[in-house]
């Protein structure tokens, strides 16, 4: 069982396509098919069912999948560990972050890191916090800077970095902005624009508001908070957004019963060998947290 065949198997399993797998591996499709066929011959088991244009894992393929992931990751970790015997901070930093954090929190940190360590190849994926969290938990990424969930595996290292104060907002011309004093119950009469149900932020919002007004009437959903802010600013509904995003087009609706925060931080898997670049970046994030001024 050779590593090249395992890489071909994983690429087909992840993409569901021999042609897409070939593009990912910079090979021809026949070459990928040959490697998978060689693996099937060695194992004496069919690994994929080919149903028309659909490629599906067989029971044997599903059984092999986690072992193949572990084998290839162990090899990568061993190569990284050997490379890290050098004191230099170099190589690839494979990380993910959300669009919001990448826009509002990381630019200055990334700029300084890139200036200090030009030999590091930054590979940054912009993913939802939920997907980034999952990719780190599965060992696919070195680290992620995300919104933190309420609960997470004890196999993850979590560094809390920032606290986002969340505010209920509408446009300055929205009927809710004319209510003085404002009370949370009024939200039930107007549509909301919120992140989707499966996000950490939406779960926090639901837990804070629904016990008071019942099920929120959501007219539009977007996980791009800048898009949500734009839709709110033109009067299409109310929302809940981090205070760091707000400007003069946003009217904050205050009720003493609503005090909500979300936590942002860095995560990495305890069992994944980090590159020197990843270790240094996490260290930079921790130092940045310590340098932040404390609010009165």
- Cis upstream peptide for 83 (omega within 30°): no
pLDDT recorded at residue 293: 46
Q: Which CATH number fits domain 3-83: 1.10.10.10, 3.40.50.2000, 1.10.3720.10, 3.40.50.1110?
A: 1.10.10.10
CA 50: distance to chain centroid?
A: 32
Distance CA(125)–CA(131), nearest Å, equals 11
Contact 5, 39 (CB under 8 A): yes
Find where tokens 């780190």 sit. 136
Rounded to two decimals, the pTM is 0.68
Tell me how far apart the alpha carbons of residues 56 and 122 are, in angstroms, rounded to a whole number: 34
In this prediction, residue 289 carries a pLDDT of 66
Domain ranges of the chain: 3-83, 91-162+263-291, 164-261
Cα separation of 149 and 199, whole Å?
Answer: 9
DSSP states along 70-137: HHHHHHHHHHHHHHTTSSS--EEEEEEE-HHHHHHTSHHHHHHHHHH-TTEEEEEEE--HHHHHHHHH
Cα 280 to Cα 11, 111, 283, 286, 294, distances in angstroms: 30, 14, 5, 10, 24
Q: Looking at domain 164-261, which CATH architecture does it have?
A: 3-Layer(aba) Sandwich (3.40)
The CATH number of the domain covering residues in 91-162+263-291? 3.40.190.10
DSSP alpha helix (H) spans, 124-250:
129-137, 200-213, 225-233
Q: Give me the pLDDT at residue 288, please.
A: 72
Fold agreement between 3-83 and 164-261:
no
Radius of gyration from C-alpha coordinates of the chain: 24
**pLDDT score, position 148:** 92
Q: What is the pLDDT of residue 152?
A: 80
Tell me: cis bond preceding 66? Omega within 30 of 0 counts: no
Sign of torsion over alpha carbons 230, 235, 238, 244: positive
pLDDT of residue 291: 55
Give the CB-side neighbour count of residue 143, counting CA atoms within 13 A.
24
What are 18's two structure tokens? 């021999």
State the pLDDT at residue 296. 39
Please give the chain's pLDDT, 296 residues, in tens: 789 999 999 999 999 999 999 998 999 999 999 999 999 999 999 999 988 778 999 999 999 999 999 999 888 888 877 766 666 788 888 899 999 999 999 999 999 999 999 989 898 999 989 999 888 988 888 999 999 988 888 889 999 999 999 999 999 999 999 998 999 999 999 999 999 999 999 999 999 999 999 999 999 999 999 999 999 999 999 999 999 999 999 999 999 999 999 999 999 999 888 888 899 999 999 887 655 544 43
Look-up: residue for tokens 């907002």? 169
pLDDT at residue 294, rounded to an integer? 47
d(CA 47, CA 27): 20
């Amino acid at each position: 069982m050779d590593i090249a065949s395992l890489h071909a198997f994983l690429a087909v399993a992840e993409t569901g396509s021999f042609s897409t797998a070939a593009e990912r591996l910079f090979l021809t499709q026949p070459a990928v098919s040959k490697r998978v066929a060689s693996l099937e011959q060695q194992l004496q088991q069919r690994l994929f069912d080919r149903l028309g244009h659909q490629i599906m894992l067989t029971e044997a393929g599903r059984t092999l999948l986690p072992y193949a992931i572990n084998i290839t990751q162990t090899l990568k970790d061993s190569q990284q560990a050997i490379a890290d015997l050098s004191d230099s901070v170099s190589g690839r930093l494979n990380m993910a972050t959300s669009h919001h954090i990448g826009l509002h929190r990381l630019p200055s940190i990334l700029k300084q890191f890139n200036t200090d360590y030009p030999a590091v190849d930054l590979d940054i994926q912009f993913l939802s916090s939920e997907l980034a969290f999952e990719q780190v938990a599965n060992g696919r990424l070195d680290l992620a800077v995300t919104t933190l969930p309420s609960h997470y595996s004890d196999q993850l290292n979590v560094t809390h970095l920032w606290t986002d104060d969340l505010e209920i907002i509408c446009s300055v011309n929205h009927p809710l902005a004319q209510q003085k004093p404002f009370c949370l119950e009024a939200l039930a009469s107007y549509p909301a624009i919120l992140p989707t149900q499966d996000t950490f932020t939406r779960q926090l919002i639901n837990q804070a508001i629904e016990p008071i007004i019942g099920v929120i009437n959501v007219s539009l959903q977007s996980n791009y908070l800048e898009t949500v802010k734009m839709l709110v600013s033109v009067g299409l509904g109310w929302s809940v957004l981090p205070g760091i995003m707000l400007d003069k087009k946003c009217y904050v609706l205050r009720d003493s019963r609503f005090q909500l925060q979300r936590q942002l931080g860095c995560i990495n898997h305890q069992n994944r060998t980090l590159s020197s670049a990843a270790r240094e970046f996490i260290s930079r994030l921790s130092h940045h947290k310590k340098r932040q001024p404390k609010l009165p």
